[in-house]
Amino acid sequence: MANDKIKTSFLGVRYREHPTRKHGIRADRCFFIRYKVDGKDKEEVVGWSSGGITAEGAFKLLSTIRANLRTGAGPRSISEMRQEREHLEEQAKEELRRKEKVSLTFGEFWETEYYPVAKATKTWRSVDTERGMYSRWIGPAIGDIPLQKLDAAKIEDLSLHAQKSGKSAATVRYILAVVSQVWSKAVARGIVTGECPVRLVKKPRQDNRRMRFLSRDEARALLEALAERSQDMHDEALLSLFCGLRAGEIHALTWGDVDMVNEIIAIRDPKNKNNRHAFMVQEVRTMFMRRHKGQEKGELVFPACNGKQRYWVSDTFAKTVERLGLNNNIVDARQRIVFHSLRHTFASWLVQGGTPLYTVAELMGHTSLDMTRRYSHLAPDSLRKAVMSLQGKLEAQA
């Protein structure tokens, strides 16, 4: 590029020509403006003719800067003009982002932010359940409402609608929990601030404690039917029935937790930081001996098909219960037989056999004796015996 700047017909505007690059039929020109700031000469590059700059355009820019210098208002250089322009552009972008935040609906955020992350981080069963809840309940109720306008009143309407439609308290609480998770994600994204409005809504409560337990004949029939369809499902049911284990505790068992010599099972209780132990009856010990094929201590006792830990009970259990008719004509959810009913049966049989409630609580891993008191009605003879032990206490001794 040539070193000498060439003057134009516009005072204060000069240019250099590019040694090789053309713009049209002549060399591409780079324009400069020259002016005084506080008595000192200052020169700045305006731009190239190939970029749309002309001598006349450069002079208009120079005239603006000179006027600003005289009045003391506005940018006093091209760099200041650029900074002002960038500042205005950022303000415009910020205003656009603000408007987008204000108008972003719950449904839009669900589709673009929450649901994609849930699919990538949660189990397919949880994702499927949440998607169903959104499609049936959440979306129709609050999907079109901007997140920033979501309040407790709208969420309470959602809750009441689900309850009036016959949804259980547990299901309604799950629905509200999903809304709360979406809100938390929106807070993390900077879309909303403050306390989640779900916290201001009273959650429905219902006595979900299972009251029904299996009879000996029902338990025997169920285990036999399960053995015909799935040995794994039979063995899990056997373990819950005779040791009182939850499904999650069974699925987390490794062979290192199974002490065949002392006939003890170490249980990793997800609901209690203090892990407990279960004790093997002969049926359980025989089952473990049959299953053990030299696995390492760290291997799962009941792995999924891919060798990893299971996180749900196989549909085989519910299908077998249905085939046996154990839930025929049962409307009350607490009376229906589910996998957890086996654990309930374990406790019920113990109490019927005279086991003290405190002992049952320890074996079940209950954090409170109140959780075990539901079984007290199964031990009327024990209670009567305790009271009758007082008989004759005040009689004079010979």
Is-contact 31 47, C-beta < 8 A?
yes
Task: Assess whether the region 106-200 and the region 216-385 belong to the same CATH fold.
Answer: no
pLDDT above 70 coverage of the chain, percent: 88
Letter for the amino acid at 31? F
Strand 13-23, strand 6-7: pairing: antiparallel
User: Quick one: pLDDT at residue 206?
Assistant: 62
Please report, in angstroms and rounded to a whole number, the separation of the first and last CA atoms in the chain.
130
Top pLDDT among 98 and 273 is at: 98
Sheet harboring 40-48: ordered strands across?
6-7, 13-23, 26-37, 40-48
CATH homologous superfamily of domain 106-200?
Tyrosine recombinase, N-terminal domain (1.10.150.130)
Check: CB of residue 64 under 8 Å from CB of residue 77. Answer: no
Which CATH homologous superfamily contains domain 216-385? Intergrase catalytic core (1.10.443.10)
pLDDT at 266: 93
pLDDT for 2 beyond 50: no
Spatial strand order of the sheet with 264-267 comes to 258-259, 264-267, 276-279
Distance CA 116, CA 235 (A): 37
List, for residues 237-255, the tens digit of each pLDDT value.
999 999 999 898 999 999 9
As a whole number, mean pLDDT of residues 145-174 equals 89
Query: What are the tens digits of pLDDT across the range 8-21?
Result: 999 999 999 999 99
- The first and second tokens of residue 85, run together, are 């322009």
pLDDT at 347 over 60: yes
* Residue 182: both structure tokens together: 């979406």
Domain boundaries, the chain: 6-99, 106-200, 216-385
CA 73/CA 86 separation, integer angstroms: 18
Is pLDDT of 225 > 80? Answer: yes
- Burial (CB < 10 A; 0-12, 13-18, 19+), residue 261, is exposed
For the cut 60, the answer to whether the pLDDT of residue 316 exceeds it is: yes
User: How much is the pLDDT for 210?
Assistant: 57
260 has a pLDDT exceeding 90: yes
Once rounded to an integer, what is the mean pLDDT over residues 168-192? 90
Q: Is the Cβ–Cβ distance between 238 and 283 less than 8 Å?
A: yes
Q: 33-62, pLDDT tens digit by residue?
A: 999 988 899 999 999 999 999 999 999 999
What is the rounded average pLDDT of the residues 286-292? 96
Given a cut of 80, is residue 119 above it in pLDDT? yes
pLDDT band at 303 (very low <50, low <70, confident <90, very high): very high
Least reliable range by pLDDT among 38-52, 117-131, 206-220, 309-323:
206-220
Judge whether residue 384 has pLDDT over 70.
no
Mean pLDDT of the chain: 87
Tokens of 351: 């109490």
pLDDT class for 382, splitting at 50, 70, 90? low
Which three-class secondary structure state does DSSP give residue 147?
A: helix
Residue 234 has pLDDT above 80, yes or no: yes
Mean pLDDT within 268-284: 78
- The pLDDT assigned to 397 comes to 59
Please state which of the ranges 86-100, 256-270, 335-349, 356-370 shows the lowest mean pLDDT: 86-100
CATH ID of 6-99, from 3.30.160, 3.40.190, 2.60.40, 3.30.450: 3.30.160
Mean pLDDT of 320-324: 95
- Please state, in angstroms and rounded to a whole number, the distance separating the CA atoms of residues 208 and 336: 11
pLDDT at 258 over 90: yes
Comparing 383 with 392, which gets the higher pLDDT?
392
pLDDT band at 180 (very low <50, low <70, confident <90, very high): very high
pLDDT digit string (tens) for 186-218? 999 888 888 999 999 998 876 555 568 899 999
C-alpha triplet 298, 301, 303: angle, nearest 5°: 95
Contact yes or no for 357/375 (Cβ under 8 A): yes
Residue 76 has pLDDT above 70, yes or no: yes
User: What is the pLDDT at residue 380?
Assistant: 59
Assess whether pLDDT exceeds 70 at residue 398: no
Helices (H), the chain: 55-71, 78-103, 106-109, 115-121, 124-133, 139-142, 152-164, 169-188, 216-229, 231-243, 247-252, 282-291, 315-324, 340-352, 357-364, 380-388
Q: How confident is the model at residue 297 (pLDDT cuts 50, 70, 90)?
A: very high
CA distances from 52 to 49, 56, 57, 273 (A): 5, 11, 9, 72
The DSSP line for 102-144 is HH-BHHHHIIIIIHHHHHHHS-HHHHHHHHHHIIIIIHHHHTT
d(CA 387, CA 153): 53
Q: What is the pLDDT of residue 209?
A: 59
At 362 the pLDDT is 85
Kindly state the average pLDDT of the residues 156-162. Answer: 92
Q: Which amino acid is at 62?
A: L
